Structure 1
Amino acid sequence: MRNASPRSKEATHQRIVDAAARAIRHSGYDGTSVADIMKQAGLTHGGFYAHFASREAMLAEAADRAGAESIATSARIAAAAPPGQALQAMMCAYLSKEHVRNLERGCPVAALGSEMPRQAPEVRRAATRRIKEMIDSVARHLPDWGQAGAHEQALVMVSTMVGTLMLARAVDDPKLSDSLLESALKHFAPAGP
């Protein structure tokens, strides 16, 4: 029996990471088992260690992938927005009912933030890198980008966005969930003229 080609092994590795990135957002880090991820990827549990040194190594890659997907989505939204409206478009998409419902493909910070302090250092490092990118992305779209206070404003905006999304997902009252989203949007991204 021949060994898999490097390209085939890389494709399989990416399939596992994709499945893990969805699984951690859906079930959390502790609710995500290697066996479940391998099954979702269409593979046997026994093949796991051909791709990862440990569960934590896989979770770190999954956290990185989930963060990268979220940042890429924001970048696409910003690029498609009319001039001067990128930040508003990003916030409207982030604080949308669709994003509340889209746990498996949505922002991993809002889905996993409360679990992060209990994760292995490599998982936290991957998530931290992507959180910094998220903050930088918001800062770059602020009207006063590059001036004193812009980074702090981005920190507050990202914290509010993530917290609002977490709360909107947490409550079992649809009206309250909608009000949380609407209030944050009204405060940070008022409708244009």
Structure 2
Amino acid sequence: MADKKAQTRERILDAASAALIGRGPEQPSVNEIMGAAGLTVGGFYAHFESKEALMLEAFDRLLRQRRAAMAQMDEQLPCQERRALMAAFYLSRKHRDTSEQACPLPSTVGDIPRLPEGFQAVLAEHLELMVAQLSSCPEESDKVLADVALMVGGLVLARALGTGDLSDRVLRAAKSAVV
């Protein structure tokens, strides 16, 4: 029974993660998320105390997954090369145009100031861990932080512009500024 409950919880988190990436943490309704998970709204509160709690957990989970993917990069590469590799993927057309396995930050960061404080805490925690993961020495941490900010901002602009030439130019410009 506990296994089935855990599997159901994972289905809900998967649906919430997809909704968060696509539309941010505020817009998707519990009904929409539960429907996407193939469940009825009635069972929601057996797994989460509120929509905010669900979206916060989905946000945290997505950022953990992103950091785990970054950890797959060869640690023997110099810091600058790892950032260049990350920028090549992050600021690509493929990443701009995907709705699966996409970074949650472009759809979320604008909403965070209006969300419960837990979202800011999760963002700050993951940002610090990401900077540490991409820095080979403390002196590089501000450069890494600037690169992450540039990548997220570049992707936000590129997605807002759609798939045209100006969007592609934003991706190229941001990518070239990282390295």
Q: Give the TM-score taking structure 1 as reference length.
A: 0.84
Aligned residue in 2 for 1:45 = 41
Q: Which amino acid aligns with 2:137?
A: G
Quote the RMSD (CA, aligned, Å): 1.9
CA deviation digits over 1:32-69, x for unaligned, max 9? 11111111111110000000111111111011111122
- Alpha-carbon separation, structure 1, partners of 2:120 and 2:76: 35
Which structure: larger Rg? Answer: 1
Confirm or deny that 1:187 pairs with 2:144: no
One of 3, 15, 20 as aligned partner of 1:19: 15
Give SS of 2:146's match. Answer: helix
In the alignment, is the contact (CA less than 8 A) between 1:28 and 1:111 conserved in 2?
yes
- Alpha-carbon separation, structure 2, partners of 1:162 and 1:67: 13
Aligned residue in 2 for 1:130 = 126
Offset of residue 172 of structure 1: 3.9
Q: Which amino acid aligns with 1:183?
A: A
One of 64, 67, 72 as aligned partner of 1:68: 64
In the alignment, is the contact (CA less than 8 A) between 2:83 and 2:178 conserved in 1?
no
- Alpha-carbon separation, structure 2, partners of 1:180 and 1:40: 33
Aligned residue in 2 for 1:146 = 137
| Structure showing greater relative contact order (alpha-carbon pairs closer than 8 Å, 6 or more residues apart) | 2
In the alignment, is the contact (CA less than 8 A) between 1:68 and 1:130 conserved in 2?
yes
Q: Which amino acid aligns with 2:124?
A: T
Aligned residue in 2 for 1:28 = 24
Equivalences for residues 61-140 of structure 1 within 5 A = 61-76=57-72, 78-79=73-74, 83-84=77-78, 85-139=81-135
In the alignment, is the contact (CA less than 8 A) between 1:22 and 1:66 conserved in 2?
no
- Alpha-carbon separation, structure 2, partners of 1:160 and 1:43: 39
Q: How many residues align?
A: 177
In the alignment, is the contact (CA less than 8 A) between 2:157 and 2:167 conserved in 1?
yes
In the alignment, is the contact (CA less than 8 A) between 1:67 and 1:131 conserved in 2?
no
In the alignment, is the contact (CA less than 8 A) between 1:56 and 1:122 conserved in 2?
no
Offset of residue 136 of structure 1: 2.3
**Relative to 1, partners in 2 of residues 1:168 and 1:32: Cα closer, same or farther, differing over 3 Å?**
same
Q: Which runs of 5+ in 1 are unaligned?
A: 140-144
Give SS of 2:111's match. Answer: helix
**Relative to 1, partners in 2 of residues 1:74 and 1:147: Cα closer, same or farther, differing over 3 Å?**
closer
Give SS of 2:110's match. Answer: helix
Aligned residue in 1 for 2:164 = 174
